[in-house]
Amino acid sequence: MPLTDRQIRSLKTPEKPKKVSDGAGLHLLLTPNGSRLWRFSYRFAGSQKTLALGAYPHVSLAVARQKRDLAKGQLVAGIDPSQQQKVEKAEAKIAHGNTFGAIADELLKKETREGRAKTTLDKKQWVLSLARPALERRPIKDITASEILAVLRKVEAQGNYETARRLRATVGQVFRFAIATARAENDPTFGLKGALTAPKVVHRAAITDWQCLAGLIRCIWEYEGSYETRAALKLMVLLYPRPGELRLADWSEFDLKKAIWTIPAPRTKMRKEHKKPLPGAAVEILQDLHQLTGHRPLVFPSVSSPKRPVSENTMNAALRRMGFTKEEMTSHGFRATASTLLNESGKWNPDAIEAELGHVGADEVRRAYHRAAYWEERVKMSEWWAEQITSVGE
């Protein structure tokens, strides 16, 4: 006879597995550990098989019967219910791996393996966090442009136009990665490019004439702050690297005998190793600095923790203490200063200046040519630039 919920609740736990039939192939398997498991017994292609339908009471008697009837319908259609269940589980697993959140995580892991800088990865993780609440669990192939636009509009509504632009680009990266891994067919962010408010471009402040630069140089050479900060600022004006390239510099990167600084690929914007010639003035500064910090890996260790580099704000804060506002000069501005004045001098090939700044395009042949053809000119240019700087500072 068919079972009732009252009968099921009254069943006692057996000492060994026991089957209690409900009819038409459906039965409840009682186990010594107290489990009550729904099973459907059937024959397919001449073989006896059993289909698991779940555990009571999570799967009620009524639901178990519905699942049995569905399985019987599959049998009539020539489908093996057990095989169909495996297919559905596999599809569910794939669907879970095809959500926006899962693919975004895969992209971040891939970029970590490729050696992307931690700061870059942290920024991308933060940008993606703005989209995760709405898109995290959505299958990526089902996400529409209007859904993404709604997320972007929330960021825009706070006046964060640049962040909204960056979010659109980053979400687009996730979609393009999904396309490359055969989990999406198109990138809906492509059509949203013109929908966002364009952020106002703000160039980093920089001094671009010799007279004002001379005043800045004198202030740096006479700076009364820490020796390490003064040395960092001197090297910024002499070598004009990106601030992060200098701040995170390791002593192993410097060959003071050959006067070469090799900046490793993970720390360069182009993700390619970049060698810079060191003028004599820079070598002297580094030799003196080595006596203070040379016993540690970092050239500019933090005062609070020698294993960590100085703060991003250290050099900018020093510029403020010297009286230069953020509208007048920033640590990154030394690059624009050097680029402008080196080009205005008319003494150097513009491509050599670009190579020295690390502004090399993606073309491999052109990049190789930059490194080889202009090295001697870059060495001479670095000495000339150092002479202009030290003639004012000393």
| Same domain flag for 141 and 229 | no
**143 and 280 together in one domain:** no
Q: How many domains does the chain have?
A: 3
Task: Tell whether 82 and 124 lie within a shared domain.
Answer: no
Residue 204 lies in a domain: no
Structure tokens at 380: 């001479």
Supply the CATH number for residue 32's domain: 3.30.160.390
Domain termination site, one of 36, 62, 94: 94
Cβ proximity of 382 and 279 under 8 Å: yes
Evaluate whether 334 touches 236 at the Cβ level (below 8 Å): yes
Q: What are 45-76's pLDDT values in tens digits?
A: 888 999 999 999 999 999 999 999 999 999 98
Within this chain, do residues 108 and 11 fall inside the same structural domain, yes or no? no
pLDDT in tens, 259-293: 999 999 888 777 788 899 999 999 999 999 999 99
* Domain assignment of residue 306, given as a range: 210-393
Using CA atoms, how far apart are residues 334 and 356, in angstroms rounded to an integer? 13
**Is 201 inside a domain boundary?**
no
Choosing from 51, 79, 94, the residue where a domain stops is 94
The CA angle 338-340-342, to the nearest 5 degrees, is 60
Establish if 294 belongs to a structural domain. yes
Average pLDDT, the chain: 88
One domain for residues 301 and 365:
yes
**Confidence band of 116 (pLDDT split at 50, 70, 90):** confident
Structure tokens at 117: 């800088």
pLDDT: is 168 or 159 the higher one?
168
Q: What is the average pLDDT across 103-108? A: 93
pLDDT of residue 358 exceeding 50: yes
Identify whether residues 89 and 116 lie together within a single domain.
no
Is there a contact between 163 and 155 (Cβ–Cβ < 8 Å)? yes
The answer to whether residues 153 and 289 belong to one domain is no
Report pLDDT for 92.
64
Question: CA 315 to CA 216: how far, in whole Å?
Answer: 13
Domain C-terminal end among 40, 71, 94: 94
Q: Would you please indicate which residues are annotated as catalytic (active-site) residues? A: 242, 269, 332, 335, 359, 369
pTM above 0.75?
Answer: no
CATH number at residue 178: 1.10.150.130
